[in-house]
Amino acid sequence: MNASLLVFRLKMALAIIAILLLGGAFTYGLMWYLTGGSISGIAMVTSLVVMAFFLTLFQWLIGPYVINVMYRAHEVKPDDPTYGWVYDMVADVARANGFKDTPRVFIADVPFPNAFAYGSPVAGKRVAITLPLLRILKPSELKAVLGHEIGHLRHRDVEVLMAVGLIPTVIYWLGWSLWWGG
């Protein structure tokens, strides 16, 4: 890894930490103000943040299995007689993007064209392609789509969106508890 990339990643990590700390301080200050300095208000915010974190973590860990069921996705292996070529294409694109291991490849049996990247630490990195997309794209176009999806995995977009998704989740539960809690 070159030095400029390391510096960039360090700056990004520090920026994220700063945003989280400032957001937490703002939230605690706001709750302190809204509850008149009540410790129960601070405890409520803390419990909401912890609950939102664990619900999001649970969703992230089991999400790939739920997606497979919803999309009727089945895994493609390299020796698959029908879709083995898709696996090979994903392996080529992944290797070109610096992946040591090929993401797991799935074919989704749904009526609309789509491709997506998903995964978790438990399920591993995954790429899914729907059957209509396989029918309408040329191999060169499919390779471009797969490159886009592999890019999502390379840049950890699943993890970033999970972390960003915590913000509206916490705000929702905070609003819900304030609405019903008086």
Which strands form 115-120's sheet, in the order they lie side by side?
73-76, 104-108, 124-130, 115-120
Count CB-CB contacts under 10 A for residue 107: 21
| Helical axes 139-154 vs 84-96, angle rounded to 10° | 50
Q: Which residues contact 97 (CB under 8 A, 6 or more apart)?
A: 147, 150, 151, 154
Q: Known catalytic residue: 149? A: yes
**Active-site residue identified among 75, 141, 149, 159:** 149
Which residues does residue 73 pair with via DSSP β-bridges, in sequence order?
108
List active site positions.
Answer: 149
